[in-house]
Homo-oligomer: A and B are copies of this chain.
Amino acid sequence: MIPIPIPEFKVMNSKKLLKQDKLASVANLLDGKLVKSSDIVAVLEKVIRPNETVAIEGDNQKQAVDLAKALVQVDPAKVNGLRMVMSCVQMPEHLDIFEKGIAKELNCCYIGGQSARLPQMIDAGTVKLGAIHTYLEMFSRMFTDLIPNVCLCVAEAADRNGNLYTGPNTEETPTIIEATACKDGIVIVQVNEIMDELPRIDIQGEWVDIVMKSDEPCYIDPLMTRDPAKITNLHILQAMMIIKGVYARHHIDRMNHGIGYVSAALELLLPTYGEELGLKGKICKNWVANPIPAMIPAIECGWAESCVAFGSEVGMQEYVKARSDIFFTGVDGLLRSNRCYAQMAGLYGCDMFTGSTLQMDYYGNSSTVTKSRITGYGGAPNMGSNPNGRRHTSEAWCSMVTDHTDVMAHGRKLVTQIVRTQTLNKKTGEMRDCIVPQLDAVETAKKAGLPEPLVMIHGDDVTHLVTEVGLAYLYMANNKEERKELIAAVAGNSALGQTMSDKRRAELRNEGKIMFPEDLGIDPATATRDRLSAQTLEDIVEWSHGLYTIPDKFLEK
């Protein structure tokens, strides 16, 4: 009955055998699972084979710094052609490996410090760009077609059995390690400390093959902190428009904010302006966000019910520990973060994403990519997209339905984008449009040989647009051309703004599709810094009852 010959039995555990071979070949360099930092280059040369897929952990917070530096030192005659999978391209070493031929293909999510250098290296053919992803998408590929043969990760401490303690910055370590360990890859982790007993276990030791105590403790940048002192009246006006025109109107209780001064202003306005509007208990209850200092006054005033975090933030450790009702914590009382779960919650568990962009086109597409810089996206495409698979409803979700005659109509996620209509070009002293006919990302992608433009958030996913001029309810647009009109109506003095007639603007305003501050009952003259519940980081320390510590970086100014 079997129509073709069945192939002879063959072993299909070659990856397991290869792993055993690799580990046996470095046994003389290991003490149990421990390796000295002076031996790590030799170990990498033996456990990484040419053309393998290698993950380096690192994002906008913690970085496997010492392992990244070690990888650059391997002999390219031994280790070459690697396919890299890495959330962030931040350190020079992350690109140096391409210059030396150690690595060939780059798959990443975000380009930090190296955003100007990367396009040149793509141009020169030194880097073959696999793809730039949103985090959850790259994690997904670690389980399908980008499964790491070796991963280079970072944790706070390990015991001799390889159990890992990540401290508050658990982030993406469990995800990378599960994808690698369970497909017989080699898991190498740098830690600040080897301990006999860990304060808690974040990842079980049997998934970890090699542990290295790094020479320097892993540096974590307080990247999410915004100093309230730098919040301007314009940020405050925009935040007031969002609170009243979006949060209150659509009853947003589960949400994620991007990091920026408008978001910080919004958080600091909840205990003052939000309270004035009687919104406590109605909006901003369930947060998907890192614990950031600007949240403290709202938490102390009882606004937040929960907060699930991608990672931690420097200085917030003791505060989080004293507020475990709000934050996810481990048995040691410190934050347990999880980038994968928080991104997932940001996609499916939130009613709204609020973010900023540097450039937007006439149809609402936006990107942070410019002609000379490829920056990538991080989590924005994921959290700033409509989850077509979502099936639970909420007041906010349902408020996006505009055609109530359609029985098949369904809600959608709210995506609010903040953009300046123009910014000052510091070189020429002239104003430059931020709302442009075509995103720079279109040309940049073409030059990099990519089949699609490098868009951060698609225009048809954006439901609300906030400029310094007003608020456009893009979800109300009947079609793409009307969406362009709504954008134009709040595009100020930009070229697009100038195409809008006063008459048409008045019509759109009458239809409630755009609103200016006065339509929302906001007098711009009252959008001032004295509304902020904290005007300095020192104020936030006071709000935290001394539990928040200002990071050194902000003291040095």
Which residues of A come within 8 Å of B, CB atoms?
1-4, 6-7, 9, 11-16, 107, 130-134, 136-137, 139-141, 143-145, 147, 163, 175, 178-179, 182-184, 200-202, 204, 206, 253-254, 271-272, 275, 285-286, 288, 297, 299-302, 305-306, 308, 322-326, 328-331, 333, 336, 338, 340-342, 344-345, 347-350, 361, 363, 365, 377, 381-393, 398, 407-411, 438, 442, 450-455, 458-459, 461, 530-536, 539, 542-543, 545
Contact = CB atoms under 8 A, between A and B. Distances in A.
Given A140-B349, A407-B442, 11 more contacts: A6-B543, A12-B323, A133-B392, A140-B344, A143-B341, A145-B305, A179-B341, A381-B390, A385-B389, A410-B452, A410-B458
Contacts of A7: 300-302
Contacts of A386: 388
Contact of A390 (B137, B163, B543): B137
A459 B409 CA distance: 12
B349 A3 contact: no
Contact of A532 (B3, B13, B325): B3
Contacts of A385: 387-389
Given A389-B134, A393-B450, A140 B348 contact: yes
B382 A389 contact: yes
B530 A136 contact: no
Contacts of A302: 7
16 contacts: A2-B543, A4-B272, A7-B300, A9-B545, A16-B324, A16-B333, A134-B389, A136-B348, A143-B328, A145-B306, A184-B329, A201-B206, A202-B204, A381-B388, A391-B454, A393-B452
B340 A1 contact: no
B391 A381 contact: yes
Contacts of A383: 389
A1 B536 contact: yes
B347 A140 contact: yes
A459 B406 CA distance: 14
Nearest to A141: B349
A151 B16 CA distance: 35
The 6 closest A-B pairs by CB, nearest first: A140-B349, A131-B392, A385-B388, A140-B348, A144-B349, A385-B389
Contact of A145 (B131, B286, B532, B539): B286
A3 B140 CA distance: 46
Contacts of A330: 182, 206
Contacts of A384: 389
Contacts of A206: 200-201, 330-331
A293 to B, nearest CB: 14
A322 B13 contact: yes
A389 B4 contact: no
A358 B437 CA distance: 46
B387 A344 contact: no
Contact of A336 (B1, B145, B163, B182): B182
Contacts of A344: 136, 139-140, 143, 340, 344
Given A137-B392, A340-B344, A182 B349 contact: no
Contacts of A532: 3
A47 to B, nearest CB: 18
A131 B542 contact: no
A9 B340 CA distance: 33
A389 B389 CA distance: 12
B286 A144 contact: yes
Contacts of A144: 254, 286, 288, 306, 308, 345, 349-350
Contacts of A140: 341, 344-345, 347-349
B452 A398 contact: yes
B390 A271 contact: no
Given A6-B542, A15-B325, A286-B144, A365 B442 contact: no
A236 B544 CA distance: 66
